[in-house]
Amino acid sequence: MKIYFLGICGTAMGNAALLARAAGHEVSGVDTGVYPPMSTVLAEADITVHPGYDPIRLERLAPDLVVVGNAMSRGNSEVEWLLETRALPFTSLPALLHDTVLRHRRNIVVCGTHGKTTTTALCAYLLQAAGADPGFLIGGVPQDPPCGAQLGRPAAPFVIEGDEYDSAFFDKRSKFIHYAPHVAVLNNLEFDHADIFRDLADVQRSFTHLMRIVPRNGWIVLNGDDPNLAALGPTPWTRQVRVGRGADNDVVLSDFAETPSGASFRLSWLGRPWARVAWGLSGEFNARNAAMAATAAALVLRPEDPAGLDLGALAAFRGVRRRQEIRLAVAGLTVIEDFGHHPTALAATLDSLRARHPSARLTAVFEARSNTARTKRMQDAFTDALARADAAFIGPVSRADRVPPAERFAPEEVVAALSSRGRAAVTAPTNADLLSRLTEAVPPGRARPEVVVFFTNGSFDGIIDGFVAAARRAG
């Protein structure tokens, strides 16, 4: 079958295209925002990516099925041609995955406001280390496993990132409703995606819909420390395992410590020691991600003795690209790229970097790019998070014209608020200007070590690569 993906360079869409290719289908797609790492992965797989939308070209290609990404909306020329002509069948990405991959698998669906990609990668990695040959679909580019998508053995579990965002412009249900969970991992829950959810209660409602379709022989793996998840209530129709720091949890995370050399923590199951983990990933949030992933993998592989699952492989886990990814580490300067676009994620990452680099000056560079971050809804919370850094450089709002001025995130207001707290704060009218000011502010030959962390869920107009290149040229 010839399958054509609208918006193929999104991480979920791109990895789904890789799955379809592995299943023997002829795959191609189209996008406008074509940038690494996904563009590189698709090119290596010899999948054609057409630049820019063109209904005439789509008609000529005549695929058997068009997969419409959830970034597509009415007004897109190829979407409008599909609707007007009805010449080609189309579906959403989650529906395609359900119908072609997930319907008959034991699926581990990893959900939560934060950490989905890393937790999904961790779970797939542990299943692989145990010899299970799992299938998986990761919404990013992991270093472990060494690819973002794999069909695996048909009888083996399938791990998939369960996004709460809507499925497509014609299907406003959360993606994870399509994913037929055998194990639903609920890692955390906060308000996000203000473009599709009215408030926290609206997000919680969608999570309860997911919980209701977990079968009685399945499990819900729940962050037992999260009050927003606790508020969802009991689930008497299925089994539940609670994971967290509190002693009342089934799986307890304890003794977390972080130093410049790494992090460590312990896990126990129903009071029985399970594992001590020492690894390179940063932050207690990643330790919790590991605990959730390990619990889900253990329940699927060793339901009779979950704490018997060997977690030794975690010591070698390298993480996911663009999640606290070190882009440059030279004498006196460390440059990090992070996908963070929610205040809680920014705060947790900055706190971790303080522990890892206690003597360094910490500079945060932030782009308000997501549909929620571009609004004032979380502006105060972003200000509080950025205040954890010594200095903050704030780019112009991405696609600012799509948000009314009165509702739009205001970099100048955040700069003023940070300055009043004694923090160095800078904004600029363009990202090119921001890069110039950042490069001037972080010159070579610094007396004090410097850590610069970029927060964006997009390309940041290439300024991360630009800053790394400038730092290399400066020696």
pLDDT digits (tens, 9 = 90+) for 374-402: 999 999 999 999 999 999 999 999 999 99
Mean pLDDT taken over the chain: 95
The span from the CA of 33 to the CA of 49, in Å, is 11
For position 390, what pLDDT does the model report?
97
CA-nearest of 361, 380, 317, 345 to 457 is 345
Tokens representing residue 227 in the block? 């009050």
Angle in degrees, 0-180, between the axes of helices 431-441 and 463-473, rounded to the nearest 10: 30
Ranges of H-type helices in 187-245: 200-212, 227-230
pLDDT higher than 90, residue 474: no
For position 83, what pLDDT does the model report?
98
The H or E element spanning position 109 is strand 107-111
Angle in degrees, 0-180, between the axes of helices 343-356 and 284-301, rounded to the nearest 10: 110
Residues 297 and 130 sit within 8 Å (Cβ to Cβ): yes
For residue 94, is the peptide bond before it cis, meaning its omega torsion is within 30 degrees of 0?
no
pLDDT higher than 80, residue 36: no
Residues 352 and 280 sit within 8 Å (Cβ to Cβ): no
Higher pLDDT, 11 or 270: 270
Alpha carbon of residue 378 to chain centroid = 19
**What are the CB-based long-range contacts (under 8 Å, 24+) for 70-77?**
70/7, 70/165, 70/166, 70/167, 70/168, 70/169, 70/175, 71/7, 71/10, 72/6, 72/7, 72/168, 72/169, 73/169, 74/169, 76/6, 77/53
For the segment 395-440, what is each residue's pLDDT rounded down to a tens digit?
A: 999 999 999 999 999 999 999 999 999 999 999 999 999 999 999 9
pLDDT higher than 70, residue 80: yes
Exposure string of 340-379, with b = 16+ CB inside 10 Å and e = fewer, is: bbbbbbbbbbbbbbbebbeebbbbbbbbbbbbbbbbebbb
Alpha-carbon dihedral angle through residues 387, 388, 392, 398, given to the nearest 10 degrees? -80
Least confident of 9-13, 53-57, 213-217, 306-310: 9-13
3-class DSSP state for residue 227?
Answer: helix
Going through 151-195 in order, the beta strands assigned E by DSSP cover: 158-161, 166-168, 171-174, 181-186
Ranges of H-type helices in 231-341: 284-301
For position 194, what pLDDT does the model report?
87
Q: C-alpha distances in angstroms, 359 versus 182, 325, 393, 442?
A: 46, 20, 20, 16
Sign of CA dihedral 117, 123, 129, 133: negative
For position 445, what pLDDT does the model report?
65
For position 447, what pLDDT does the model report?
74
Least confident of 31-40, 89-98, 147-156, 284-293: 31-40
The span from the CA of 203 to the CA of 193, in Å, is 9
With 0.75 as the threshold, say if the pTM is over it: yes
Exposure string of 208-230, with b = 16+ CB inside 10 Å and e = fewer, is: eebbebbeeebbbbbbbbbebbe
pLDDT higher than 70, residue 132: yes
Q: How confident is the model at residue 353 (pLDDT cuts 50, 70, 90)?
A: very high
* Rounded average pLDDT over 156-176: 96
Q: How confident is the model at residue 35 (pLDDT cuts 50, 70, 90)?
A: low
Give the chain's domains with CATH numbers. Answer: 2-88 (3.40.50.720), 95-316 (3.40.1190.10), 325-473 (3.90.190.20)
Higher pLDDT, 35 or 235: 235
Residues 282 and 356 sit within 8 Å (Cβ to Cβ): yes
CA-nearest of 73, 308, 310, 348 to 196 is 73
For position 302, what pLDDT does the model report?
95
For the segment 178-215, what is each residue's pLDDT rounded down to a tens digit?
A: 999 999 999 999 999 988 999 999 999 999 999 999 99
pLDDT higher than 70, residue 473: yes
Residues 25 and 3 sit within 8 Å (Cβ to Cβ): yes
150 DSSP β-pair partners = 136
pLDDT higher than 90, residue 443: no
The span from the CA of 60 to the CA of 28, in Å, is 13
For the segment 224-262, what is each residue's pLDDT rounded down to a tens digit?
A: 999 999 999 999 999 999 999 999 999 999 999 999 989
